[in-house]
């Protein structure tokens, strides 16, 4: 049986090796990122690295601080590298994110970083098309049933995460949108962002610089041309 936790850990440990003292980095959210935070925390402890980070969720913030990382909220310059996970990734660097509800802050952090390095286990890489994982879209709770209908006009069926009880760190709700397949991620991202009430869409395009896929005994690294 595939050991997905080991794959995530291998990807995270490899990524953590790239951090140098003095860097300001972005840190995303999720179980793979948790491995990254712990691996980086060990380097901080053992090598005395000085690292400052902007994190994309309250959960990552807690873990980062517990592991000795300095966390800040804002910075006028771009971050050096953003390290994050994904729910799906294709080899052009298109991603589906937001399984943990942190997509909006994750996209802000990724957009404001020179590079985005994505750490995934082997099941996340999709060589044909994205969309098996329901696409998370963060929306305002105001007039939510109309917003869901407007999203469905793009050819999906939507449900509110937790029946509407789930709240993001921004106080909003998540619509999980099931498409048969997503053939043109950039066009769909643009279309859904036009729906009033949509805060952010969990499709990330043109942001990824590198995908680190964890394998049973190491990693496979894909560089994404800009
Ligand atoms: O909102 C959560 C994020 O987009 C995560 O990076 C994504 O869901 C992948 O999480 P995991 O590493 O737990 O599979």
CB-based contact 98:138 (threshold 8 Å): yes
Residue nearest to atom 7 of ligand 1 (CA): 86
Look at residues 56, 48, 153 and name the one whose alpha carbon lies nearest to residue 36.
Answer: 56
Q: Is 13 annotated as a binding residue?
A: no
- Please tell me the distance between residue 86's alpha carbon and the centre of ligand 1 in angstroms: 5
pLDDT digits (tens, 9 = 90+) for 179-204: 999 999 999 999 999 999 999 999 99
- Please tell me the distance between residue 152's alpha carbon and the centre of ligand 1 in angstroms: 24
> Which CA distances in Å does 150 have to 35, 65, 161, 194, 195?
38, 40, 17, 10, 7
Q: Which residues line ligand 1 (CB under 6 A)?
A: 28-32, 84-87, 97-103, 106
Name the pLDDT band for 1 (thresholds 50, 70, 90).
Answer: low
**SS3 for 37?**
helix
pTM score: 0.97
CB-based contact 122:88 (threshold 8 Å): no
Q: Two tokens at 118? A: 């994505």
Q: Is 155 annotated as a binding residue?
A: no
- Which atom of ligand 1 has the smallest separation from the CA of 106? 4
Pairing state between β 135-139 and 218-223: unpaired
Q: What is the mean pLDDT of residues 57-70?
A: 97
Strand partners, 55: 27
Q: Is 31 annotated as a binding residue?
A: yes
pLDDT computed for residue 226 by the predictor: 78
Q: Which residue has the tokens 């099931």?
A: 178
pLDDT digits (tens, 9 = 90+) for 7-29: 999 999 999 999 999 999 999 99
């Amino acid at each position: 049986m595939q050991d997905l936790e080991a794959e995530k850990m291998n990807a995270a440990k490899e990524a953590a090796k790239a951090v140098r003292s003095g860097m300001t980095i972005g840190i995303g959210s999720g179980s793979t990122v948790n491995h990254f935070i712990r691996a980086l925390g060990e380097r901080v402890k053992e090598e005395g690295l000085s690292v400052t980070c902007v994190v994309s969720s309250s959960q990552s913030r807690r873990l980062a601080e517990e592991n000795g990382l300095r966390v800040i909220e804002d910075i006028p310059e771009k971050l050096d590298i953003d390290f994050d996970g994904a729910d799906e990734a294709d080899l052009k660097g298109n991603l589906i994110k937001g399984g943990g509800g942190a997509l909006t802050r994750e996209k802000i952090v990724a957009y404001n970083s020179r590079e985005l390095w994505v750490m995934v286990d082997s099941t996340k890489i999709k060589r044909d098309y994205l969309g098996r994982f329901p696409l998370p879209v963060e929306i305002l709770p105001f007039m939510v049933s109309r917003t869901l209908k407007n999203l469905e006009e793009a050819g999906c069926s939507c449900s509110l995460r937790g029946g509407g009880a789930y709240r993001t760190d921004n106080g909003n709700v998540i619509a999980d949108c099931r498409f048969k397949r997503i053939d043109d991620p950039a066009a769909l991202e643009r279309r859904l962002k036009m729906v009033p009430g949509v805060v952010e869409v969990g499709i990330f395009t043109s942001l990824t610089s590198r995908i680190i896929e964890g394998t049973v005994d190491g990693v496979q690294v894909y560089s994404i041309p800009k």
